[in-house]
Amino acid sequence: MAEAETHEKKKKKGFSRRHETSEAHDIAHRAREEQALMKVRGVKERAATRVLRTPAQQIAELDRRLGAHVGATKERARLAKTVG
């Protein structure tokens, strides 16, 4: 009986306790969506600039970011093949 009374009280209010902070939830959700979109934009921008670099320039960029001959060994080997 108590369960039915609680349900009726919630029904009269128009929302459940879980949704009392739905505005805060919506704001947080929108912020997460915006962050995801910004991440995708960044990935696309980096890919676009990567396409413009020659293999030798890409090796130089890897050296600049990671250090000379440090990391990205498979990528460096693939680029070295195309450089000659």
As given in the structure block, the two tokens for residue 56 are 């030798």
Output the pTM of the full model: 0.53
Cα three-residue angle 20-9-5, rounded to 5 degrees: 135
Q: How many helices (H) and strands (E) does the chain have?
A: 4, 0
Cα–Cα dist 59/83, whole Å = 10
Cα–Cα dist 63/84, whole Å = 18
pLDDT tens for 56-66 read: 999 999 999 99
Ranges of each domain in the chain: 20-52, 54-84
pLDDT tens for 6-57 read: 666 555 555 555 555 677 778 888 999 999 999 999 999 999 999 999 999 9
Beta carbons of 10 and 17 less than 8 angstroms apart: yes
